[in-house]
Amino acid sequence: MDAGEQAIRRTLHDVSSGISFNFEVLQDQILQSLLAERLLATLSGFFGTLAVVLAMTGLYGVMSYIVTERTTEIGIRMALGAQRMSITAMILGKAATLLAVGLVLGAGLSLAASRAAGALLFGLKPRDPATLAGAALLPAVVTVVASLIPSMRAANVSPIDSLRSE
């Protein structure tokens, strides 16, 4: 307790001993009032990260399935002289098609819901171009990362082995 607080306590006690009071630092009050918002932001970040991991895992599974289903076709293409880069580009092109469909649907839904969400966004416009660009960039990065391993696996398919498996 500092000297100023003690002086105030004595003065208030001299006026009336029934007065109750409590001293708190303003920064502590501000931190206490923002506790719920900080917890909600932390939970939102955690669930957002979890959603990205699930999306990446799902897209990896879809792309692996596509490569597995097209192994014979890829083997035939490679037997006929297709380069590894063209096979990789073919698989990444399929992923880019999925990405494009998702971005178009997602952008349409986000623009449609922007009026309802406008009241919840503090300091942001509902149709902020930088936010929409960032929201489109993250799925693009996730798509590339999730599709690299299946596309490299497709490029390493042995034409002879793929034709023998049929």
- Which of 66, 79, 91, 72 has its CA nearest to residue 155? 91
SS3 25: coil
- pLDDT tens for 2-61 read 777 788 878 877 887 777 777 777 888 888 888 888 899 999 999 999 999 999 999 999
pLDDT at 166 over 70: no
pLDDT tops 70 at residue 106: yes
pLDDT at position 3: 78
Residue 86 is predicted with a pLDDT of: 93
Query: Quick check: 143 pLDDT over 80?
Result: yes
Question: Averaged over 109-122, what is the pLDDT?
Answer: 77
Please tell me whether the overall predicted TM-score, pTM, comes out greater than 0.75 for this model.
no
For the segment 78-93, what is each residue's pLDDT rounded down to a tens digit?
889 889 999 999 999 9
Burial of 55 (0-12, 13-18, 19+ CB in 10 A): middle
Q: What is the CB-side half-sphere exposure of residue 43 using CA atoms within 13 A?
A: 6
Check residue 113 and give its pLDDT: 82
Using an 8 Å Cβ cutoff, are 130 and 43 in contact?
Answer: no
- Residue labelled with tokens 């623009």: 111
- Measured CA to CA in angstroms, residue 62 lies from 25, 57, 66, 81, 150 at distances of 55, 9, 6, 26, 9
Domain coordinates in residue numbering, the chain: 1-33, 44-165
